[in-house]
């Protein structure tokens, strides 16, 4: 873990490398610290990509409630972000909440031309 005295950009690269290496839980921890720092300094505007990566790290490490919370916040700020809708829908599917996933997946399809995924085990 890098300390907060390390520049933000280096800590971001470190978190991204953890994600790229498949250590999604560690990446999520580092990314969450960066997002919290941005919130404390009121720099949250412009951190959409950072928060999407955090949501992806949460999703890939099966921290689905955390992923959902980040994505709901992102969608409230940018309701036309098709990828955020897609990831929210996939998160809800992975959590077995297939009916709740239908709306964000439909919006992702409409807003971003994403193909609506069918989850394994989803009712027809």
Backbone angles phi, psi at 5, to 5 degrees: -80, -15
Looking at domain 8-112, its CATH superfamily turns out to be Tetratricopeptide repeat domain (1.25.40.10)
Predicted local confidence at residue 44, as pLDDT = 58
Work out whether the CA dihedral 60, 63, 65, 69 comes out positive or negative. negative
User: pTM for the complete prediction?
Assistant: 0.86
* Structural domain boundaries in the chain: 8-112
When pLDDT is averaged across residues 90-114 and rounded to a whole number, the result is 93
pLDDT value at 2 more than 90:
no
What number of CA atoms fall less than 13 Å from residue 92's CA on the CB side? 19
């Amino acid at each position: 873990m890098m300390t907060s005295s390390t520049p933000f950009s280096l800590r971001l690269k470190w978190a991204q490398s953890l994600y790229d290496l498949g250590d999604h839980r560690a990446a999520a921890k580092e990314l969450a610290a960066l997002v919290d720092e941005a919130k404390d300094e009121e720099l949250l505007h412009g951190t959409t990509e950072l928060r999407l990566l955090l949501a992806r790290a949460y999703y890939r490490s099966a921290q689905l409630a955390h992923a959902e919370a980040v994505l709901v916040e992102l969608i409230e700020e940018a309701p036309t972000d098709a990828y955020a809708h897609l990831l929210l829908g996939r998160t809800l599917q992975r959590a077995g909440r297939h009916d709740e996933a239908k709306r964000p997946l439909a919006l992702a399809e409409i807003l971003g031309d994403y193909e609506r995924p069918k989850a394994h085990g989803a009712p027809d």
